[in-house]
Amino acid sequence: MRVLTGLCAAVVLAAGVAVPAAATAAPARTGTEPQYDYAGAIRETVWVDLGRDGDGDGVSDRVAADIVRPKEPAEAGKKIPVIMDASPYYSSVGRGNETQFKTYDDQGRPVGFPLFYDNYFVPRGYATVLVDLAGTNRSTGCVDVGGQSDVQSAKKVVDWLNGRATGYTAKTGGTKMSAGWSDGGVGMIGKSYDGTIANGVASTGVEGLKTIVPISAISSWYDYYRSDGASFGFNPDGLAQTVERRNGGQDCSAQHRKLAQGATANGDYGPLWAERDYVANAKNVRASVFVSHGVNDLNVMPINYGQWWDALAAKGVQRKIWLAQTGHVDPFDYRRTEWVDTLHRWFDHYLMGIDNGIEKEPMATVERQPDQWANEATYPAPGTKATVLRPQPGRTPGVGTLGTTGSRGTASFTDNPKVGENEWAANPSATSANRVLYSTGALTSPVQVSGTSSITVTATPSTSTARLSAMLVDYGPAKIRNFSGPGEGIVTGTDRTCWGSSTDGDSACYKVTSADTTNVDYTIISRGWADLANYQSLSREARLTPGKAYTMTFRLASTDHVVPAGHRLALVIGGTDNGFVTAPANPPKLAIDLARTSAQVPLVGTVPARPRTESAPAGELAHVPAAARFDLR
């Protein structure tokens, strides 16, 4: 373990004699160690005034922030930093792989804090603060699913920790409560909705927020519910009702109506989504950012981390990233020891000011195969170039080659909303009525797809409504994490490992997990969906004229994947992707103009300019079915 040693004054005392500091230099501070009594830590709650009345009861809303902090620093007059997780889930769906909830004693004092952050970091001199978003658990007000109420719920607690907001000892009434023990430095962390709020608070540029660690988090709520005009078929009012269901007493029906009305069914980007677009405000971010995401996350799609990362890079924000093969999984549950160590050093550096060199380490850590990790100096990977790949027709209708030379000809398919990506990917050498497929052929050397791809399609629909879907596929045998399994790439065992100190009401011990793997013959490495009616603007769809050609560019999911030599990289284009997007009113036949269709893919390495025509392996190829969408946990 690394040892934390206090900095020397001008002199040190040895045997009662003053000795010059240069003669006995203090060792470098390389890491915090457990030194404070967790069982005797201070556990308390502050209710912070939001200055808004979200539930319309005539009273300003207050958010509850449960705190556990070591008592020794306060007794010595030393101020300490805060690790904060702001969540709507502490009494509704729970947190972590073992679905933990907050617990309280008979007098309402906090006892059990979900996750390991308090157990591990409080003995090391940090406070842990878990915030109930407005309208959830013990807070008043209403959830607005990523809007101002949600973001302000956490931002105001940051303000309170810095002496800029008012806190009270009770939900109503009470006396004012200060945070004189806080040094004002805050690091926000959390998975999914929680990490999303960290992104939102960082995008306000609030002073005192030093770092955030968003895990499988949303960067724009539009991209959780919609995709370039296409709808995933569910809306934010349902999520709001889910997280508020155990917090009776407030009337949030007006807020629910606003959410339902603002999330228009046609998939247009409107004012509701603009308020919840943190990428647009990335220019305000002051905090460092440590991103973690599963490249196979089909709940919070990977485009969320990719566009956030790119916006932060443009701003020059200090950042780091972990990418796993998992679905919607916390790194504590797929690479526990390394994650805790890295997180510890990250917080020590950005909250304690310890010079441990973590900011100089490789920027990206990527899982190449289950439990096999590679470091990259940057993300996207060094040497990545935006490469335009173009489809060329082959001898088989709807099947051809993918290279870098100009395209020609047309191809067509009929949108069948009852099928989707796995049916499209199967039998890659055969004509399909429901998709077209273009492949590089067997690669002579590996290529790496690193970053965010896009596709430009020119399509002529036979009806006035149309969906487009596209995906990049790695054809070749591989062992991958079973990201669509019940654990989304992990299996939970029965043994436990402990991460910090425990009390009777708050255990630091968690079940061990391991990789859930499966063997496949192809891997879908990136996906994207669009409504062709939004070809001109995401803010306003147009009615399509049957028989007229339209050109639309839309995004494919961010990723980092190596296609080995001998494998094929393929582009597949279809209509409605069953299980993902909703179908158009009148599914069309779509004719694709190959000369005006291309994909822009960030590649390390090259593909043949004009691959020779060859048949892909025949037969049905096994693959993991698409994962179902879940509540945002």
Provide the annotated active-site residues: 192, 297, 328
Residue showing tokens 């370039």? 228
Element (DSSP H or E) covering residue 274? helix 271-275
C-alpha span between 286 and 77 (Å, rounded): 28
C-alpha span between 381 and 116 (Å, rounded): 32
Please answer whether residues 48 and 62 qualify as being in contact, where contact means their C-beta atoms are separated by less than 8 angstroms: yes
Half-sphere exposure of 137 (CA within 13 A, CB side): 26
Q: Compute how many other C-beta atoms are within 10 angstroms of the C-beta atom of residue 370.
A: 20
Intra-chain end-to-end CA distance of the chain, in Å: 33
Residues pairing with 64 in the sheet: 47
41, 83, 533: which is closest to 344 by C-alpha?
83
608: left (phi over 0), alpha (psi -120 to 50) or beta: beta
38, 21, 28, 36: which is closest to 6 by C-alpha?
28
C-alpha span between 544 and 551 (Å, rounded): 12
Give backbone dihedrals phi and psi of 63, rounded to 5 degrees, phi first.
-105, 140
Q: CA separation (Å) from 87 to 101, 138, 193, 343, 528?
A: 11, 12, 7, 19, 29
219: left (phi over 0), alpha (psi -120 to 50) or beta: alpha
Question: Residues 6 or more apart from 602 whose CB is under 8 A from it?
Answer: 380, 384, 385, 386, 387, 449, 450, 451, 452, 453
- Reading the block at residue 323, the tokens are 């990418």
Positive or negative, the CA dihedral 421, 427, 432, 435 is positive
C-alpha span between 411 and 395 (Å, rounded): 12
C-alpha span between 612 and 403 (Å, rounded): 10
Q: Which residue type does 600 have? A: Q
Going across the sheet that includes 42-49, the strands are 176-177, 167-168, 42-49, 62-69, 127-132, 80-87, 182-191, 209-215, 288-294, 319-324, 364-369, 372-376
Positive or negative, the CA dihedral 229, 235, 236, 239 is negative
Please answer whether residues 474 and 448 qualify as being in contact, where contact means their C-beta atoms are separated by less than 8 angstroms: no
Give the Cα-Cα-Cα angle 281, 284, 287 (nearest 5 degrees): 120
In Å, how far from its chain's centre is CA 57?
A: 34
- Reading the block at residue 406, the tokens are 């100009």
Residues pairing with 480 in the sheet: 518
Q: CA separation (Å) from 445 to 215, 567, 608?
A: 33, 9, 10
